[in-house]
Amino acid sequence: MLASRRTSASTPPRTRRAGDPVGLADPIAASALEGLHGVLLTVAYDGARFHGWAAQPGGVRTVEETLRGALREMAPEASPPRGTSRTDAGVHARAQMVAFDTSRPIPPRGWVLGLNQNLPDDVAVRGARAVPPGFAPRFACRHKLYEYVVSTDPVRCPLTDARAWRVGPGVDVERMACAARHLVGTHDFAAFRTARDERTSTTRTLLEVTVAREGPSRVRFSFRGTAFLYNMVRILVGTLVDIGKGRLDEGCIPRAFVEKDRSALGPTAPPQGLLLALVDLDMPPGTGEPWPPS
């Protein structure tokens, strides 16, 4: 039997945020970008051997630096890649959206095939399209979809445990689905972040939350929202699992919105079960057709 519950809220209108890129009509921005071509990539990666997306000091392996190295092989003058989501160490992505600017008029097909020749097996460019130079996908994001997989298998399995958090049997999926309905909407998620997140604004909007059993020993959580705090999804999953195990009551979620007490919630789920599944962008005028065709 498939046990699932989906709750959703309508998408709020997007407003311009501080730090949005200057419009191309601005004479300074236009002169700086003159003669450049913008490219938008869809990038997938297995995050197991990466220290996250963002470049870091000390030469640690990150997705951004790995992609930048492949770009240098094709276009040494290209700008650094501009990602949409700063995924953490061990987190995977199916559709990280990445933009860069270059003076080279290479068609989208050429970027996909050429970059993949210079990338390791755990990163791949899955698509490319032309965009106006200077396009910053982070500030054009309408919503992101994160998925998290939990295994209820009583015995470890090397074929699946690398992409799931094995919590063992005895998880009430329907109880987790009922608790997840409290998450939908606009709330103060201050309790659902780690201490490393020092942002002063902690109000976020979740548009849809789904909890569904897949087969006898897998549960998939889906969270679609306009923005997320650091480790927010992993803390949400850890809390829902503790509710499903009977360690926490369903009311802990609405209480956390008011009390903002991280210690009253579940653990931070490990990174290997988390996937950035989709990024929905507000594409600017002048965007070209993708390759491969969708």
Strand, helix or coil for residue 92: strand
How far is residue 108's CA from residue 280's CA, in Å, rounded to a whole number?
A: 19
Query: Looking at 20, 26, 46, 88, which residue is catalytic?
Result: 88
CB–CB of 262/202 below 8 Å? no
Q: Is 88 a residue of the active site?
A: yes
Q: Measured over all CA atoms, what is the biggest interatomic distance in the chain, rounded to whole angstroms?
A: 63
Task: Pull the structure tokens for residue 39.
Answer: 């490219």
d(CA 156, CA 105): 50
Q: Name the token pair of 25.
A: 């009509």
Please give the Cα distance from 85 to 96 (Å, whole number).
7
State which amino acid sits at residue 188: D
Q: Which residues are catalytic?
A: 88
